[in-house]
Structure 1
């Protein structure tokens, strides 16, 4: 039995996929996004050890709430950083007829084809399509994202795409053009929804508690007005929420 490390479990989530969902927040992430609001999920040794059977046993208690379109969302941290554990969880869900979502930035340890085989919906967090800006935001080379992207396209699975919009980093119309081009690089019949998420500062206290420097301490949250301007600029009107 493969054991994994999780940060926490949300039992009745409504923002992490369709319907009412149990959200499993995995521990571990190799990205260091400048706006990350969960630095407490970065390291494996800070998590709670658990098995897929324990997760499924808990999920069964909430299955009546899932109804026809709810289920389990595997989020993070980054769920792809624990591929063996994630795969076992996904397979167990399918045996129980539970709808599965992975909420990911696409940076893991491979075996993507097998993982996506048991995934009903992918929520893909696209940091930026420009390699330089991607590295500025995440600290990592964009080539690792491309590896997962290729697997996603081949999987032909349903896809939601999101991007966090941060003042001074990716909040220009040029950035939106790049984002839209990236969205359109996926087959149109795969993409069901597109979200622009406003940068916020709700996780700053975690950096202070962990003794980690917060790189955007002088950056204010993105205003609702600015967010709406950027949403209206996009031509993906039927998909944007």
Structure 2
């Protein structure tokens, strides 16, 4: 069992609790207009690795993790490589390693065989960090190229089965930084029982050079990052403080 790995990061401090070893897998079904890793979209290139080889690398840094650290698998979209991800998380738990999945949840379906594998994956997953790209279906489609019905369904399912979650929301001026949408997102999050943290990630342009290198048109040209005041307001709204 091997997975297609884009890259790894030894000391992640913003991708789950504690210090984390981050594994970025290749392939993503979304085409988010603000994506800062478009080089992970294609399900080709990268390096084929098996779970034990990755975990052996990760454990070299275990002394730095502290009581809360571990591994975080991101992408791309890790759920596209479900079989490998399940093998990786299962083996990680056998080693006593904390596991975190950073995901858009875009591949989620209740159809088989995906759903049964997903349920087994959650048994070996300590935390899901999920992005809510946009709460409005039409706006979500325009922003990512995909509908959000299955994503919201997955979040509700994770709440029902007691899966700990962190919710992340990228704040893009004029697109997601709209009070109406923020309050609708807040109302949805309020109905989830297992959300431990809500984070607002300000839109930035640090990955624009990758779009240019790949010859991709960047459709948010000219959009500036949100002001600190807007980030603070959005955070308060999503956390039910405003």
1:185-230 C-alpha deviation (Å, 9 max, x unpaired)? 211xx11100111100111000100001111112112222221232
Aligned partner of residue 171 in structure 1, secondary structure: coil
Name the counterpart of 1:68.
67
For the 8 Å contact 1:112–1:151, the answer to whether it is kept is: no
Q: Once superposed, which parts of structure 1, at least 4 consecutive aligned residues long, lie more than 6 Å away?
A: none
1:50-107 C-alpha deviation (Å, 9 max, x unpaired)? 1101111112211121221100001111111100010000001000000000010102
Q: How does 1:24-63 map to 2 (within 5 A)?
A: 24-63=23-62
Name the counterpart of 1:194.
198
Name the counterpart of 1:228.
232
Aligned partner of residue 72 in structure 2, secondary structure: strand
User: Partners in 1 of 2:26 and 2:56 — Cα distance?
Assistant: 20
User: Partners in 1 of 2:68 and 2:37 — Cα distance?
Assistant: 28
Q: 1:168 and 1:191, CA in 2 relative to 1: closer, same or farther beyond 3 A?
A: same
Aligned partner of residue 182 in structure 1, secondary structure: helix
For the 8 Å contact 2:71–2:100, the answer to whether it is kept is: yes
Q: 1:141 aligned to 147, 157, 171, which one?
A: 147
Gaps of 5+ in 2: 109-113
1:24-52 C-alpha deviation (Å, 9 max, x unpaired)? 01111000111111100001112211110
Q: 1:117 aligned to 99, 104, 123, which one?
A: 123
TM-score, with length taken from structure 2:
0.92
1:85-134 C-alpha deviation (Å, 9 max, x unpaired)? 10000001000000000010102263321111100011010112211111
User: Partners in 1 of 2:87 and 2:157 — Cα distance?
Assistant: 19
State the shift of 1:146 in Å: 3.6
User: Partners in 2 of 1:232 and 1:108 — Cα distance?
Assistant: 30
Instruction: Tell me how many residue pairs correspond in the alignment.
Output: 235
Bigger shift: 207-216 or 57-66?
57-66
Aligned partner of residue 44 in structure 1, secondary structure: coil
Name the counterpart of 1:160.
166
Bigger shift: 222-231 or 160-169?
222-231
Aligned partner of residue 181 in structure 2, secondary structure: helix
Does residue 216 (structure 1) correspond to residue 220 (structure 2)? The answer is yes
Does residue 130 (structure 1) correspond to residue 149 (structure 2)? The answer is no
TM-score, with length taken from structure 1:
0.92
